[in-house]
Structure 1
Amino acid sequence: MILNNSPVTQHRFQDIEFFLKRDDKLHSQFSGNKARKFKQLLNIENPEITTIIGYGSAQANSLYSLASLACIKGWQLEFYVDHIPNWLKEKPIGNYRGALDLGAKVIAVSELSLEPIHPKDFIETIRKPSNDCIRVPEGGRFSMAEFGVRELGEEILHWTKYESGQDFVVALPSGTGTTSLYLNKVLKPHGINVVTCPCVGGADYLTEQFNELDENSHPEILTLKDKHHFGRLYQEDYVIWKQLLEDTYVEFDLLYDPMMWRCLLEHKHYFEGKTLIYVHQGGILGNESMLPRYQRKWDQAH
């Protein structure tokens, strides 16, 4: 399976002209940020492997991506979560629905243990995976992610050779920061800066995530003036998401991309005289659950 060479399209949003690396177009199911991070798993040719094990939330992008990967490889996905809300069980939606449709087993540890236990600890102490299993850390924060992200970086470098004479900067939001860190490792030596924003925690948290992957050179971190809590609904995020869709005719992820674009607009001076390349994060299936929450809160109020 070939998962590379996603197209690059040109757009304008407000007064920012940019190129968009369309990693949402890599594959109908296995695409975006997680496809890059999990790509090396596709190359595993070990007949003993039957199961892939991950953990996170019931609406994590990684859940759907790992379910897609397992389906492609003929493996069983076991994905451990703290809990699954009753409403979601009754009416599956978003990444959870997509993963179930692909045959994933989504397992709530709160229903299996009398004492509170983190899904990671449950896997290690109770599930105890054998040699026929592959374990993937939450969000794909592991060194194996470098393989696919390096390919992404090399694609960007190849594309920039045909756009000579420009000072490029690459932008993408961060959860664990794995993609931005390894992308910076590829692009920085060629004079292309990578900028990101901390969607899950603050700048200090993101720096800690970078340090755990033992890389000395880090992307530049942009932050908003006001604190931004992961998963909370912000009207500014919704407005910018709708404006992006209207201006570019491209649907972006509702959880990560709006914060990155707010940072880009807040720090516009950083891009003066530079050409922006934005990496699409995929994760569009997650909008199936996020968008109704935004619509209920703001659209129906008017």
Structure 2
Amino acid sequence: MDIATFENSFLNLPSPLEEIYGPLWQDQQIRLFLKRDDLIHQTVSGNKWRKLKEYIQIAQDNPKKGIISFGGAYSNHLYALAYVCHQLKIPSIGIVRGDELNESSNPYLKQIHQWGMKLHFLDRKAYQKKEVHSIDNMNDYWVIPEGGYSNFGISGIREIVLEIENKISSDYIISAVGTGTTVIGLAKYSSSNIVGILCLNNKIEIQNHLQDLSLDLPNLILKEDYVQGKYAKSNPALDAFCENFKAQHQIAIEPTYTGKMMLGVYDLLKKKYFPTGSTLICIHTGGVK
């Protein structure tokens, strides 16, 4: 199966652009839209397919032994990659952070394993250095960095920008920030102001990425006030916000990424950060958990 057939058969593309309403922004004559990448697919949800697509195309056009990538015990990235490789019959290996884990440690690792991805578990020090001694020659595989961060992943984000531009003119595009792949891609390919809501304390890492890639993106604004402690850690206030958002708009958001992003957007709206009359596009980056 080729990429086009997979997209046409399995994925909901282009993803919907849905306007949501509330006095907090309507009183400022601001329009607020959600780019519903969470509806692309139940498993390959959100920005995961955007960041994987070019790698999958390369792996099909220039076959090697398979694809290797990295992630934690609950990695949405590995989960999506395992599913895609299963459907396209591409051998895959997942390098997982935590040598205390195994294929049955949680339902996500179990499902990844059932889809055929071979899992290798590293202690945290080796994982940080990406020292994988259990694989003889990684050059025999296509290697996707953790979270899909790379020029290929960044390039894949261009499709989000094109889909938005085909529908509406925006003043601000807002996204949660993990590895930075999505916001860097948005800022590279869009002329709108790009606001990245950091979901972990990695602003310096994102700035280093920009330097490594020789990218000067004056339209990229990083906000680090909404991390809420540590990565993937929630709290009662954030959980309540996500629940209230779902009740009000009938759209589920999770506290790791999109919940933190929308919490940040609401706070910025309360502070009247966005000029009156602005059009905001918030990227719902999905995630199965």
TM-score, normalised to structure 2's length? Answer: 0.83
For the 8 Å contact 1:36–1:148, the answer to whether it is kept is yes
Measured after TM superposition, the shift of residue 182 of structure 1 is 1.2
Equivalence for 1:229 = 230
For 1:25, the aligned partner's letter is L
User: What are the Cα deviations for residues 136-161 of structure 1, in whole angstroms up to 9, with x where unaligned?
Assistant: 11111100113321111111111115
For the 8 Å contact 1:168–1:275, the answer to whether it is kept is yes
For the 8 Å contact 1:11–1:19, the answer to whether it is kept is yes
Measured after TM superposition, the shift of residue 204 of structure 1 is 3.1
Match of 1:171 among 174, 178, 192: 174
Equivalence for 1:109 = 122
Match of 1:39 among 49, 53, 59: 53
SS at match of 2:142: strand
Measured after TM superposition, the shift of residue 130 of structure 1 is 4.8
Measured after TM superposition, the shift of residue 76 of structure 1 is 2.0
Distance 1:273 1:232, change over 3 A: same
SS at match of 1:273: coil
List aligned pairs for 1:87-126, cutoff 5 A: 90=104, 92-93=106-107, 95-110=108-123, 117-118=126-127, 120-123=129-132, 125-126=133-134
Measured after TM superposition, the shift of residue 228 of structure 1 is 3.0
User: What are the Cα deviations for residues 83-129 of structure 1, in whole angstroms up to 9, with x where unaligned?
Assistant: 2656x855632x4344233222222124xxxx952265323x55243
Root-mean-square deviation (CA), in Å?
A: 2.6
- State the alpha-carbon separation in 1 of the partners of residues 114 and 22 from structure 2: 36
Equivalence for 1:245 = 246
For the 8 Å contact 2:148–2:181, the answer to whether it is kept is yes
For 2:239, the aligned partner's letter is Y
For 1:101, the aligned partner's letter is Q
Aligned residues: 270
Equivalence for 2:28 = none
Distance 1:128 1:120, change over 3 A: farther
Equivalence for 1:206 = 206
- State the alpha-carbon separation in 2 of the partners of residues 254 and 136 from structure 1: 26
Equivalence for 1:68 = 83
Equivalence for 1:185 = 188
TM-score, normalised to structure 1's length? Answer: 0.80
- State the alpha-carbon separation in 2 of the partners of residues 200 and 132 from structure 1: 33
User: What are the Cα deviations for residues 137-192 of structure 1, in whole angstroms up to 9, with x where unaligned?
Assistant: 1111100113321111111111115xxxxx5211110011111111111112xxx2
SS at match of 1:38: helix
Measured after TM superposition, the shift of residue 49 of structure 1 is 2.4
- State the alpha-carbon separation in 2 of the partners of residues 55 and 105 from structure 1: 12
Equivalence for 1:296 = none
- State the alpha-carbon separation in 2 of the partners of residues 209 and 253 from structure 1: 26
For 1:118, the aligned partner's letter is Y
Match of 1:7 among 10, 16, 19: 16
The answer on 1:27 being equivalent to 2:71 is: no
The answer on 1:278 being equivalent to 2:279 is: no
- State the alpha-carbon separation in 1 of the partners of residues 39 and 226 from structure 2: 33
For 1:203, the aligned partner's letter is K
- State the alpha-carbon separation in 1 of the partners of residues 62 and 211 from structure 2: 35
Q: Which protein is richer in helix relative to its size?
A: 1
- State the alpha-carbon separation in 1 of the partners of residues 105 and 35 from structure 2: 34
SS at match of 2:137: coil
For 2:155, the aligned partner's letter is F
